Structure 1
């Protein structure tokens, strides 16, 4: 007779932390009265011209396998888009540097599989989307977290702490900027310092660039390691169509890496997903080639929503919500709240409000709540009213 323990997966899987975001969402996803802001998802459907590109592909019968690395047309489109966005002759991006993946999180997982060995040391800048911290642990790596510091003006990086953590035995540094959940965004000077240290010790740098177009100043794009990189840097960028083009449910992303890396990556994609569906890739081509106005409108809309939500939250006693410079979340501190998971479950049960617990993003996130503000103002106001009631209950 097999014991129950013998039927379990390996220890590295048993030790993974379950997503507290999903734990809260699972408590209320089946309730129609819940106003949900727990996921990083815009409240608008994907634009018509993107959906039409996928529909037309299906009508043409494009339902077969594609190349492991993606359609040549999409790889070329991504390369041209990034080359225009980050004009840097020292690290020119061509289609040979691009691989298409089945979602941004798949891109992150594939990159880690290609870089990390069991027992390797991986450093993450946190608070951070839990998927990033846990992915290396699936590969039996050792993860060390370097926390941002919270103050009156928001979250800041202690560069000395990070540099001290980037030792010669470090295999990989994972950085998400603009950051989920805090909105913290690296400066160009900080990027240069980090890149120099990675070069010094031969550390791979994995940049999660999912929110690079969701910044709230006149530039329209966050500072990128691509702007200062050399062609031979150990730099890998993961990105997604989900946020900037309102395509969360499509599950389409990409990786950019040195050419020798991409040449080997096709094998890993084959043994994971084989390829991304052709009709979804056609939608990706349409999004990039015709989506400039979508991104510009999204930036304006999210900036207004950010300012509106943060002003309302800061007006509440004991709530500290500095407006984030990027991404799509208010990550705010609530005085006296010491169990964010229990608090957020209570908001679901009693107020019909769905937000994410700060503890989902690491121990340093305890006492905070993440609220996705990718929504219209009326819906935000409804959420603010429910949160106010829940806060009074907490007090």
Structure 2
């Protein structure tokens, strides 16, 4: 008697593409572990230590017996209150602690925001270049990601006209990130206001990823959309966390803020998915938000110095076109001038092939634009030491010479 073949991986999970940035980071680390002198520009991770006052708060939490037990699934009340205070007015008032949900890092916040508002077949507008996780979380929630592409000629920023052209009767949401990963682009207050008013008028949700808002340069102003268009608060979810601002990527503490019904639904999902976030990490996050902020400015100044250095060096490579980013800690170069030409006896016809060639031949890890919805570009993180930055870009320049 023939046996019915067992059903294997679900269609939904089979359609998900693994994180390109983590995959490249893992490959470069494996090479380094094998003794290769790899320079890694791939991960979006500050190379600074977590501020000492935050670490001390975590150490104290390990001696507190309340840390050894479950806490409310939505997060410690003190942390939710600190998050609410940190963003100030949301709509017409400081958000209540009940409108804040503490998550296991920013990625869980992105997924839960999508899961809370997207139904099967709903379309979500994604300004591209976008963070590689956005389209996958939309698909996991049953939605359909719709790319709205910007390029180097527009400073990697989309317009209201582009968003309107992409809108259909099935459009339910826009994912908006400024300062941007992967480009470092920052939307001006006027641009943020225009997009917010467009979303309000068309009944479109905005999922705003504000995790890089503290990292801007040259006096650039970041205007959060919830302040630019306060009326939008009832159809908006704001995401952030401690990872980038406080060099706490490994602590896995993020959050989402939004209307009470959305936060309640996301909290119900989280209660089955992960229960509460690690208590010790939550108590460390309280100290990060409420304690001294001097370390944040020190890191921002170091990023600013490296930003100027990496752009000046990349601009010495004729095949690259590199704009100056205004925020975050990434630079996004057009590499179309390097495609199709022979490099060390090999030809790279795509930015993905070029990234592989740079890693294989120069032992430098970069992320190709295919990961961010815009082939023909590469992303480099300048959250690395000055020495690694200089060595890495020097290797790329020599390879292409």
TM-score (norm 2): 0.90
CA deviation profile, 1:232-265 (whole Å, cap 9, x unmatched)? 5301011021100000111110101012322333
**Aligned match of 1:358:** 369
Describe the shift of the 1:158–1:89 C-alpha distance in structure 2 as closer, same or farther (beyond 3 A). Answer: closer
**Aligned match of 2:49:** 45
Contact 1:231 / 1:258 at 8 angstroms: preserved in 2? no
Contact 1:91 / 1:230 at 8 angstroms: preserved in 2? no
**Aligned match of 2:10:** 10
Mapping for residues 174-213 of structure 1, pairs under 5 Å: 174-213=175-214
Give the Cα separation in 2 of the matches to 1:116 and 1:57.
37
Unaligned runs of 5+ in 2: 340-348
**Aligned match of 2:343:** none
Contact 2:90 / 2:233 at 8 angstroms: preserved in 1? no
Q: Which of residues 355, 358, 377 is equivalent to 1:347?
A: 358
Mapping for residues 271-286 of structure 1, pairs under 5 Å: 271-286=272-287
Q: Which of residues 140, 143, 146 is equivalent to 1:144?
A: 146
1:224 aligns with 2:227: no
Contact 1:20 / 1:341 at 8 angstroms: preserved in 2? no
- Post-superposition shift, 1:272? 1.4
CA deviation profile, 1:344-368 (whole Å, cap 9, x unmatched)? 2222222221111111111x2x121
Describe the shift of the 1:241–1:232 C-alpha distance in structure 2 as closer, same or farther (beyond 3 A). Answer: closer
Question: Is the partner of 2:148 in helix, strand or coil?
Answer: strand
Give the Cα separation in 2 of the matches to 1:231 and 1:139.
23
Using the TM superposition, name which of 353-362 and 342-351 deviates more.
Answer: 342-351
Question: Is the partner of 1:210 in helix, strand or coil?
Answer: coil
- Post-superposition shift, 1:274? 0.8
TM-score (norm 1): 0.92
Q: Which of residues 390, 397, 401 is equivalent to 1:381?
A: 390
Using the TM superposition, name which of 371-380 and 104-113 deviates more.
Answer: 371-380
Give the Cα separation in 2 of the matches to 1:179 and 1:355.
17
Give the Cα separation in 1 of the matches to 2:4 and 2:324.
52
Unaligned runs of 5+ in 1: none
Question: Is the partner of 1:99 in helix, strand or coil?
Answer: strand
- Post-superposition shift, 1:16? 2.2
Describe the shift of the 1:3–1:14 C-alpha distance in structure 2 as closer, same or farther (beyond 3 A). Answer: farther
**Aligned match of 1:117:** 119
- Post-superposition shift, 1:81? 1.3
1:330 aligns with 2:339: no
CA deviation profile, 1:203-251 (whole Å, cap 9, x unmatched)? 11101111111111336x6210121323753010110211000001111
- Post-superposition shift, 1:168? 4.1
Give the Cα separation in 1 of the matches to 2:3 and 2:352.
36
Aligned residues: 384
Using the TM superposition, name which of 15-24 and 338-347 deviates more.
Answer: 15-24
Describe the shift of the 1:124–1:89 C-alpha distance in structure 2 as closer, same or farther (beyond 3 A). Answer: closer
Mapping for residues 88-127 of structure 1, pairs under 5 Å: 90-127=92-129
**Aligned match of 1:158:** 159
Give the Cα separation in 2 of the matches to 1:342 and 1:266.
42
Using the TM superposition, name which of 170-179 and 342-351 deviates more.
Answer: 342-351
Aligned-pair RMSD on alpha carbons?
1.9
Contact 2:73 / 2:271 at 8 angstroms: preserved in 1? yes
Question: Is the partner of 1:238 in helix, strand or coil?
Answer: strand
**Aligned match of 2:321:** 320
**Aligned match of 2:376:** 367
Question: Is the partner of 2:92 in helix, strand or coil?
Answer: helix
**Aligned match of 1:262:** 263
- Post-superposition shift, 1:140? 2.3
- Post-superposition shift, 1:270? 0.4
Give the Cα separation in 2 of the matches to 1:22 and 1:260.
33
Give the Cα separation in 2 of the matches to 1:76 and 1:287.
13
- Post-superposition shift, 1:28? 2.5
Q: Which of residues 56, 77, 85 is equivalent to 1:72?
A: 77
- Post-superposition shift, 1:179? 0.9
Give the Cα separation in 2 of the matches to 1:22 and 1:212.
23
Using the TM superposition, name which of 87-96 and 118-127 deviates more.
Answer: 87-96
CA deviation profile, 1:71-98 (whole Å, cap 9, x unmatched)? 0000111111111xxx567243232221
Using the TM superposition, name which of 297-306 and 287-296 deviates more.
Answer: 287-296
